[in-house]
């Protein structure tokens, strides 16, 4: 193989590698590789404070400043399940195109899908809790600072048959 062929091959391989690295599915932490992160506690890991919600994925996942954020303390239906549409529509009404205050739980930062795990507050209201109160999600409170509030909200919604999750509940 000639020198030109090797150069072309190297360019093609480099281009393909670059295309792979820039895809959404590849989330490599270059800072930790370069030694710029201290024990994984980089400033990006904080991801808190006032931020703008730009997209809604479903009833418990939103996009904030390009980052995927999973709402803590609650679990809404996934696509294909009965309350998916109602939960997605409601979270859109509550936070889409609005600035929310993002609060991090003390013990968790990201899930296995590399989504930030956060509470969203709008004008002092815990939006995650509001979704449970309105019967659009169930409580999921492992290591939650607000565990009793979420459990109580689900119990009240269930007993009063509030929202999509509980309107036809017979248990």
Instruction: Name all domains of the chain by residue range, CATH numbers in brackets.
Output: 3-33 (no CATH), 43-166 (2.40.50.90)
Question: What span, in angstroms and rounded, lies between the C-alpha atoms of 168 and 72?
Answer: 25
Quote the pLDDT of residue 29: 43
Q: Name the nearest CA neighbour of 100 among 161, 56, 135.
A: 56
Q: What is the mean pLDDT of residues 32-36?
A: 38
Find the helix or strand (DSSP H, E) in which 93 lies.
helix 84-95
User: What is the per-residue pLDDT for 90?
Assistant: 98
Average pLDDT over residues 120-131: 97
End-to-end CA separation in angstroms for the chain:
73
The residue that leads in pLDDT, 35 or 50, is 50
- Say what the pLDDT of residue 18 is: 56
pLDDT higher for 99 or 16?
Answer: 99
Closest by alpha carbon to 57, among 113, 135, 102? 113
Q: What is the DSSP letter of 110?
A: B
Q: What's the confidence (pLDDT) of residue 27?
A: 44
Q: What is the mean pLDDT of residues 80-104?
A: 97
Q: Taking residues 78-101, report their average pLDDT.
A: 97
Q: Which residue is listed with tokens 């932490």?
A: 29
Residues 42, 46, 49, 51, CA torsion sign: positive
Q: What's the pLDDT at 32?
A: 38
Look at the block and give the residue holding tokens 């205050």. Answer: 101
CA 137 – CA 151 distance, rounded (Å): 11
For 95, phi then psi, to 5°, come to -130, -15
Q: Two tokens at 130?
A: 């509001």
């Amino acid at each position: 193989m000639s020198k030109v062929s090797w150069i072309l091959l190297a360019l093609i391989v480099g281009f393909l590698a670059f295309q792979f690295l820039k895809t959404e599915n590849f989330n490599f932490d270059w800072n930790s590789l370069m030694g710029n992160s201290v024990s994984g506690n980089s400033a990006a890991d904080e991801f808190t404070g006032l931020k703008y919600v730009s997209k809604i994925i479903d009833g418990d996942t939103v996009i904030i400043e390009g980052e995927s954020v999973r709402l803590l303390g609650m679990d809404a239906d996934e696509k294909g399940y009965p309350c998916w549409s109602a939960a997605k529509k409601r979270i859109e009404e509550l936070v889409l195109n609005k600035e929310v205050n993002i609060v991090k739980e003390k013990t968790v930062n990201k899930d296995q899908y590399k989504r930030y795990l956060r509470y969203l507050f709008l004008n002092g209201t815990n939006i995650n809790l509001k979704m449970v109160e309105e019967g659009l999600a169930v409580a999921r409170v492992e290591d939650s600072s607000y565990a009793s509030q979420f459990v109580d909200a689900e119990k009240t919604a269930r007993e009063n048959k509030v929202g999509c999750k509980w309107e036809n509940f017979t248990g």
